[in-house]
Structure 1
């Protein structure tokens, strides 16, 4: 049996008192054949998201075994406040390996900590801590940003990108410049601090990782990760 299904059966038994292929199929409103396929090939992405919703276990935990099985006590509080998503605060090195097209979530192993948000986000979403001065004064050292790689940026959005030969991870303001002859969108990434240069996609080695969906500022800085 696939390791992911071993974890799902464990979570269903502990969190929902559901056991066996037939009971699990009824809980998920899928056919027993679907459950059998998961046992052989692993759980689909949609299946993991449904497990998070129906069973209350973390999709990341199902995929990799990393992090807590469930949202714990915070999940019981969420019944009063609506749906809550669990987001890993990761390092810049981990963020540089994010690939939204892949089902592999192993890059989120051993996050610096877990954050919670009410925003409806994809399974590949993550959080980073600001360490540089390029986005001052709006973004200060120690601030956190939550990023969703599944959201395409719009003009004026803030994005996290890989930049340069060493693929440094940066936060910048996104400005589209139109399509080139191959119908690829050209864009600029702009620092809010005028002392930092403008980055142009047709001249510089740059790749957008994801779009910022939330910014958290602190009166007293909490030193944790890096961006």
Structure 2
């Protein structure tokens, strides 16, 4: 049985409409419809919830799952800052380290999960590899991920158009302070003003003190490029995964 057929069968076994199942999971009818039409797949945690509601055994998701896609799901309190994130349509989650399916890695990933707090940019500006992000989070919700990240990993919502077209306002990225920056990849950096910016990392070479000088470039040309020495930037961490939402539903 294909995953989409299992979801439909499980929903009917639970005696629920698409709208009712969506409500039980904190999602929308559109999300459930997209699952049942194979436009995208639920996270493993969501499959477990559906199985519990229906009494059906879990499907063989290890052969339906591709690393970097639906490796995370978002939960947030009803009064949270980003409570509408799961209702924006089809979610696509891309991991920076995942390039091709690997059944062994997928099987290992599905054995456990981590709840990663979602921080505001102000909170994220205080992060470092030695800081527990759970001590900074205050009610913005969590990201459930099956990817291997450090204990200091956290998530932030994308704000504004500076990283269009790849990153849209309301998308979420997972940042890992233990992950070193690499040229051409995306990082979160703290500024001297006490806030944080998410940009593309570009190395310029070492200065007289042996410190790497770098630029942080926006993807939208209407925004300025930042310079590590001029703007006194500090790398907080590199992006591990990007959670974005198609706006066509």
> What's the TM-score once normalised by structure 1's chain length?
0.58
**Corresponding residue of 2:236:** 209
- When residues 94 and 103 of structure 1 are mapped into structure 2, their CA distance, relative to the original with a 3 A threshold, is closer
Does the aligned pair in 1 maintain the 2:109–2:146 contact within 8 Å?
A: no
2:199 to 172, 176, 190: 172
The offset of 1:118, in angstroms, is 1.6
3-state DSSP of counterpart to 2:245: coil
- Which of the numbers 117, 121, 130 marks the counterpart of 1:101? 130
**Of 149, 155, 165, which residue of structure 2 is paired with 1:127?**
155
1:87 maps onto 2:121 in alignment: no
Distance across 2 between alignment mates of 1:102 and 1:114: 17
Aligned residues: 142
Structure 1: which 5+ residue stretches go unaligned? 1-77, 222-227
Which residue of structure 1 lines up, in the alignment, with residue 143 of structure 2?
A: 115
Are the aligned partners of 2:189 and 2:234 in contact in 1 as well (CA < 8 Å)?
Answer: yes
Bigger drift between 194-203 and 145-154 goes to: 194-203
Query: Which segments of structure 1 move beyond 4 Å, counting only runs of 4 or more?
Result: 102-105
Measure how far apart 1:168 and its partner are: 2.4
- After TM superposition, give the deviation of residue 88 of structure 1 in Å: 0.7
CA RMSD of aligned residues (A): 2.2
- TM-score, normalisation: structure 2: 0.53
Unaligned runs of 5+ in 2: 1-106
Cross-structure match for 1:218:
245
Deviations 1:180-222 (A, max 9, x none): 111101111000001111111122121111100100111249x
Output one character per residue of 1:36-71: Cα deviation in whole Å (capped at 9) or x when no partner.
xxxxxxxxxxxxxxxxxxxxxxxxxxxxxxxxxxxx
Deviation of 1:129 (Å): 0.5
1:148 counterpart residue number? 176
Equivalent residue, structure 1, for 2:165: 137
Which shifted more, 81-90 or 127-136? 81-90
